[in-house]
C-alpha cells in the first residue's frame, strides 16, 4: 500500500498564496502520475492538476491555469501545488492522489491512492 499525506492548507485572503505538499511513502513514485483534486461543500470532487514525474509532463484544469503550479521532487517522493492569486471559489478540501500509469487522467476513478485532504479557505 501507499500512504499520501497532504499539508500546507489554511486560511488566506483573496489574492494571497499557499503551497500545498503531498508526501508519499511505501514505494518509489517515479513511474506514477500524481494528481491534485478538490471538493467544495455540496459539490463533486474535481480535478485540479497532475504531473507525470518521469518526464515532467503537466496538466491543469482551466479554472486554475495561470494561477496554480504543480511540481514534484521524485527523490523526496513529494508533490507540491503552488497556489497564487487565490479566489474565494478556490475554497475546498484539497486531496492528492496517485495513479500507477504513464498516462495522465482527470478521472477520480483512475487514481488508486488518496490522501486525507487539507482544507483551503479563501476569504474575500
Average pLDDT over residues 1-17: 94
pLDDT tens digits, one per residue of 65-110: 999 999 998 888 899 999 999 999 999 999 999 998 888 999 999 9
pLDDT band, very low/low/confident/very high, at 29 (cuts 50, 70, 90): low
**Burial (Cβ within 10 Å: 0-12, 13-18, ≥19) of residue 19:** middle
What pLDDT is stored for residue 35 in this prediction? 96
What pLDDT is stored for residue 28 in this prediction? 64
What is the distance between the terminal CA atoms of the chain, rounded to a whole angstrom?
Answer: 40
pLDDT tens digits, one per residue of 31-70: 789 999 999 999 999 999 999 977 889 999 999 999 999 9
Return the beta strands (E) in 1-124 as ranges.
3-7, 10-13, 18-25, 33-39, 46-52, 57-60, 68-73, 78-83, 92-99, 113-114, 118-123
What pLDDT is stored for residue 1 in this prediction? 66
Amino acid at each position: 500500500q501507499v500512504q499520501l499525506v497532504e499539508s500546507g492548507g489554511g486560511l488566506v485572503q483573496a489574492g494571497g498564496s499557499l503551497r500545498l505538499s503531498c508526501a508519499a511513502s511505501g514505494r518509489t513514485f517515479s513511474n506514477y502520475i500524481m494528481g491534485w483534486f478538490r471538493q467544495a461543500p455540496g459539490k463533486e470532487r474535481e480535478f485540479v492538476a497532475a504531473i507525470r514525474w518521469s518526464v515532467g509532463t503537466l496538466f491543469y484544469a482551466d479554472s486554475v491555469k495561470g494561477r496554480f503550479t504543480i511540481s514534484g521532487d521524485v527523490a523526496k517522493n513529494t508533490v507540491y501545488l503552488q497556489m497564487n492569486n487565490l479566489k474565494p471559489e478556490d475554497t475546498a478540501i484539497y486531496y492528492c492522489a496517485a495513479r500507477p500509469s504513464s498516462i495522465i487522467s482527470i478521472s477520480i476513478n483512475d487514481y488508486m491512492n488518496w490522501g486525507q485532504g487539507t482544507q483551503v479557505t479563501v476569504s474575500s
